[in-house]
Chains A and B, each alone.
Chain A
């Protein structure tokens, strides 16, 4: 075939079907999947996609972050508040490796994320080309699925799969690596087809009714049933189903860190938070209940403490969508696999209307003890220095519990999770499983784009803010209305607490110094304030919340305050210490 004939033939084809570049096909896929916001950072190997993006400005909002880690954390925050798939773009090599922390974070916390990375030309793969890295192998353990595209014709199908995998079953991050030649390649685009089936993938295990019946029987016979729930409720959008279940059965219910906000804090059967820095009652009662009903949670070691002393007296019913979680850490008496949105109503139907108020009262008695020993002093300190708890408490009063609360990792995170008030679901954004310092600020930016109508407050320590402080630039440029509340104790507080309690107070590199955060914010044209006296707290928080754009408030808090109660590592949940 002569060149001329070939050209004519190509022209003839393009008259009937549409010719698109791989890059355009990527953006078309995003639009079809309902994506409106992308967090990304351009670079050499992803330039064709950014070039195509130039023409899609009216349909897709691209937020230029200051570091790819910020991009993926923002996508996570977006996913958590919007209940949609978060999307991040990065280039090859360092761009892709900078995503790894966020991927690991999204993997362990089950965030639906699709990352698109550029890659060197297919002809250069494996040659140690400029900015080439084996991103597929690097990211395999921290992605639910990943795939390298070297031919543009694969793009629509692969992206449809990517979104399907990311959001179905137990959600997770997916990374699609696209070589530059595939981005540039023109091909006959036959339209976008959604994926709803993959030969080897069953996102939801079939519900086994005999297990539901057995679970109901156990629950109906129980004298001291106890519900513990996690993020599965939020991911499964089963908040109402949970409420119906616990209200009919009269069960006390406690949350994990990731499950916070799935049930409003003020619910009469909400007995607090589980785990290392959780509340006294739910931890102690875990080892007192006779039937433990775990819903959409995975028995993380921070929740269980010492496993061989965890709920040994109890029959365990575990509801989870991921069969691999059943019996992974805690031996289950009855496993109820499936989406809790589906299984909870089935179970609710079979259980008896019950009143366990005496049992619930026992939780309240223990709660009184915790209030007396810990909470009262944390919220009403007698010394001049402020506590983190009182800051959160005043914040609760001002937001009424309606704000999206984003936290970083450390003492401030645990204090916030303990004391923050939540009225509605999808309001708690934190790095639970991976414990990623630096998560807070970029996640808050994403959380705001996911729910721009809501107040988004990022509560961050003086250590964590310095890990991703560059994202103030993203706020400066694109105007996310994030309220940044730095709780500054002039220490890497959580590590310091451990060094105090378990390492004879040998403070090893935990005294971190900070820049003038308000001045830094000012450098980014973000207003701010710093306070260190209690009398200024309420007004300062109010000013922050009322401010019509982003705002940074630094609050100096007690330097050597500890977070209690605490289940020390290697001890049982019932050995939780109050001081």
Chain B
């Protein structure tokens, strides 16, 4: 199966050591985490992890089951990029004189929708948010104009489907045990399965 970008969304209890516990599941299998973000979720006391990896669907599915096996993880979901609205944020520190002297730089920043965060007489800090490729392009351009410092944040993502994960999560919390288990692909192919 072909590898592609998958965004894994986890809901966990907010306890110490969760990052280590989760990241160990990846590192044990020699899988690189491209970005990892943790934040509170819309549910009280529940944390949300957003993890970006490039892997095949089969591997991602297995990983999610291993992650869900952790006592403090409520649910793990994985999605391809087209199922998500996602953003990454970046900060750029550029010498102030570059902006003043080079109109091109200013145009560039406008073009990428960068916002000014801080203005000082020695440097200016800009912020953009968007997809990786746009950020990478801007970084490359600014690199030509003495970009002093650059940092990109982890991906954060929200599912396009209107109900999102929320209803599933609420359902998980209400029911014991949970009926919400990864669907089995064979369920949809009953006719094929039963030709013996």
Contacts and interface: CB of A to CB of B under 8 A. Distances in A.
Interface in A304-343: 315, 322-324, 326-328, 332-335, 337
Contacts of A362: none
The winner among A203, A218, A324, A328 for most chain B CB atoms within 10 A is A324
B62 A322 contact: no
A335 B184 contact: yes
B193 A327 contact: no
A199 interface: yes
A98 B68 CA distance: 29
A197 interface: yes
A323 B173 contact: no
A140 to B, nearest CB: 6
Interface stretch (A204-212, A415-423, A480-488, A552-560): A204-212
A199 B173 contact: yes
Contact of B72 (A200, A206, A214, A315): A200
A324 B71 contact: no
A199 B13 contact: yes
Does more than half of chain B's interface fall in helix, strand or loop, or is it mixed? mixed
Contacts of B184: 211, 326, 332, 334-335
Interface string B59-72: 00110011011011
B24 interface: yes
B182 A323 contact: yes
B70 to A, nearest CB: 8
Contact of A201 (B28, B65, B71, B182): B71
B63 to A, nearest CB: 10
Interface in B65-82: 65-66, 68-69, 71-74
Interface in A215-239: 217-218, 221-222
Given A217-B194, A290-B196, A145 B68 contact: no
Contacts of B20: 137, 140
Contacts of A211: 184
A112 B124 CA distance: 59
Contact of B74 (A136, A137, A200, A214): A200
A262 interface: no
B49 to A, nearest CB: 13
Interface in B10-65: 11-13, 16-17, 20-21, 24, 28, 45, 61-62, 65
Interface in B175-196: 175-179, 181-182, 184, 186-187, 190, 193-194, 196
B178 A218 contact: no
B24 A323 contact: no
B105 to A, nearest CB: 45
B150 to A, nearest CB: 32
Contact of A323 (B21, B73, B179, B181): B181
A144 interface: yes
A294 interface: no
A528 to B, nearest CB: 43
Interface string A489-526: 00000000000000000000000000000000000000
Given A136-B17, A141-B28, A204-B177, A214 B190 contact: yes
A165 B71 CA distance: 8
Contacts of A218: 193-194, 196
B74 A205 contact: no
Contacts of B194: 214, 217-218, 221
Contact of B62 (A206, A217, A327): A327
A144 B186 contact: no
B186 A333 contact: yes
Nearest to A198: B71
A214 B190 CA distance: 9
Contact of B178 (A206, A290, A335): A206
A328 to B, nearest CB: 6
A372 B179 CA distance: 51
A577 to B, nearest CB: 32
Contacts of B179: 206, 208
Nearest to B172: A202
A324 B181 contact: no
A328 B65 CA distance: 9
A354 B196 CA distance: 18
Nearest to A196: B176
A324 B69 CA distance: 7
B196 A315 contact: yes
Contact of A200 (B65, B71, B175, B196): B71
A271 B139 CA distance: 66
A304 B147 CA distance: 56
A285 B178 CA distance: 37
A568 B13 CA distance: 45
A205 B178 contact: yes
Contact of B177 (A165, A203, A328, A334): A203
A202 B173 contact: no
20 contacts: A136-B17, A140-B17, A140-B20, A140-B21, A140-B24, A165-B71, A197-B176, A200-B12, A200-B74, A201-B71, A202-B178, A203-B177, A205-B178, A210-B187, A214-B193, A218-B196, A221-B194, A323-B65, A324-B62, A334-B193
Q: Ordered nearest first, which 3 A-B pairs have the shortest CB separation?
A: A324-B65, A202-B177, A200-B74
Given A137-B20, A205-B177, 14 more contacts: A136-B17, A140-B17, A144-B71, A201-B72, A202-B176, A204-B177, A206-B177, A214-B190, A221-B194, A324-B65, A324-B66, A326-B65, A332-B186, A335-B184
